Chain A
Amino acid sequence: VSRLLPFRLGRRLPARLGLLLRVVVLLSTGLLLVGLLLGGKVDAIARLDELLRPGAAAGDRLVEGGFLLVVLAPIVALVLVGHELARRNDRRLVALVALELILLALGLGIGAR
């Protein structure tokens, strides 16, 4: 992953991660609130829902989006920390980050079955 990310996080990593998480909280709060407000009453979203997932209530997709955003944020933060550790050649901690990501994928795989 470190080779794929063309930027350095350096000493400002914690501050940048903090900013990223703040933005995620704002966006997901907005999505959850709008999703609850819209409920099943907006035609455009209802039509989109019908196309993407027949039978789903309108607005629920926004709620799902809000949750997906907030649930993925800690995983993205972990990848960014791993990227910085790899740049510093801290192999032991990079191995732990890789282990955690593999465990996550494994858990999702088992959960999906």
Chain B
Amino acid sequence: VVTPLLPHLLPFAIGAAGGFVGALLGLGGGIIVVPLLTLVLGIPLHSAVGTSLLAVVATSVAGSAKYLEQGLVDLRLAITLQSALVMGAVAGAVAAPHVPARWLALLFSLVMVWASLQLFRPGVAGEEAPPRVRSGAPVYRLRGLPEGLGASGLAGLLSGLLGVGGGIITIPVMILRMGVPTRVALATSSFMIGLTAAASALVTAMHGTIPLRLAAAVVLGVLAGASGGSRLARHFSAGRLRQLVALVMIWAAIQLVLRKVMS
């Protein structure tokens, strides 16, 4: 029974690492899975992006199930921002195969550096009291909708191009510019990126760049890692871990530039 699974252990471990760290830090995991697949397994960037998109959908579906039951997803806000997200995602996924891998690597490195800086920023992924929930929906005062729509469009574009969920852009904007409580922002973003990544994944799958068995192992790893990460979250010092992951991401961004852009 175990023998057919042996070749998939490394992709599974990479997925588990992405899911685990993603669950602890409130990220989708794509920003960790793509560089690991490319740098450790030598998977072409376009294939790593497609694989990551499937992992992001799976993480979003699993995470949203929990958040929806807790009444933390603002469905009205999600539907509104999703329109810009989907528009950007479809445009990104259609453009991705025509963008040279070198440019894709450079863009991914820049997004990783941006994400690392966000992890150092206090107040974005910090703890706060749970928001009020009425009739299965959170209650708060929303502002800055045009900014949110713009950021969502950009997040969708990056999601389609790079195979990341886009939460690294939408979550800080929702919290800092739109007045959305942290937990509601995490939950709503998790629900939104599922549709975005699904749109990008379907378009990418049609281009035939997703290695199915590798993707299956990575997705199973991400789901296992995310489940473990959410259970063990309280045993970890989130602040220290955020800084460690941010440093690793900056190192991976430099490696991507050195190996894929400069070579």
Contacts and interface: CB of A to CB of B under 8 A. Distances in A.
B220 interface: yes
Contact of A36 (B8, B54, B191, B198): B8
Contacts of A66: 216
Contact of A18 (B57, B69, B219): B69
A100 B220 contact: no
B216 A71 contact: no
Contacts of B87: 103
B177 interface: no
B195 interface: yes
A72 B61 contact: no
A111 B94 contact: yes
Contact of A70 (B58, B75, B94, B135): B58
Contacts of A28: 58
B217 interface: yes
A45 B204 CA distance: 26
Nearest to B207: A111
A19 interface: yes
B195 A19 contact: no
A78 B54 CA distance: 18
A60 B138 CA distance: 41
B80 A93 contact: yes
A25 B63 CA distance: 10
B58 to A, nearest CB: 5
Contact of A14 (B57, B73, B93): B73
B194 A74 contact: yes
A107 interface: yes
Interface residues of B, number: 53
B137 interface: yes
Interface string A72-113: 111101100100010000000100110110011011101110
A37 B5 contact: yes
A70 B215 CA distance: 13
Contacts of B204: 111
A104 B136 contact: no
Instruction: Give the interface centre of A19, A28, A71, A77 by most chain B CB atoms within 10 Å.
Output: A71
B223 interface: yes
B79 A93 contact: yes
Contacts of B54: 67, 70-71
A75 B137 contact: no
Nearest to A32: B216
Contacts of B233: none
Contacts of A46: none
B157 interface: no
A14 B80 contact: no
Interface string B67-101: 11101010110011011001101100110000000
Contacts of B199: 103-104, 107
Nearest to B1: A37
A18 B66 CA distance: 6
B83 A107 contact: no
12 contacts: A22-B65, A25-B65, A25-B223, A36-B5, A70-B57, A75-B198, A96-B82, A99-B83, A103-B87, A107-B90, A108-B206, A111-B206
Given A71-B201, A97-B79, 10 more contacts: A17-B64, A36-B217, A60-B212, A71-B202, A74-B198, A75-B198, A100-B82, A103-B86, A107-B89, A111-B203
5 tightest Cβ-Cβ pairs between the two chains A and B: A107-B90, A18-B68, A111-B203, A74-B194, A18-B69
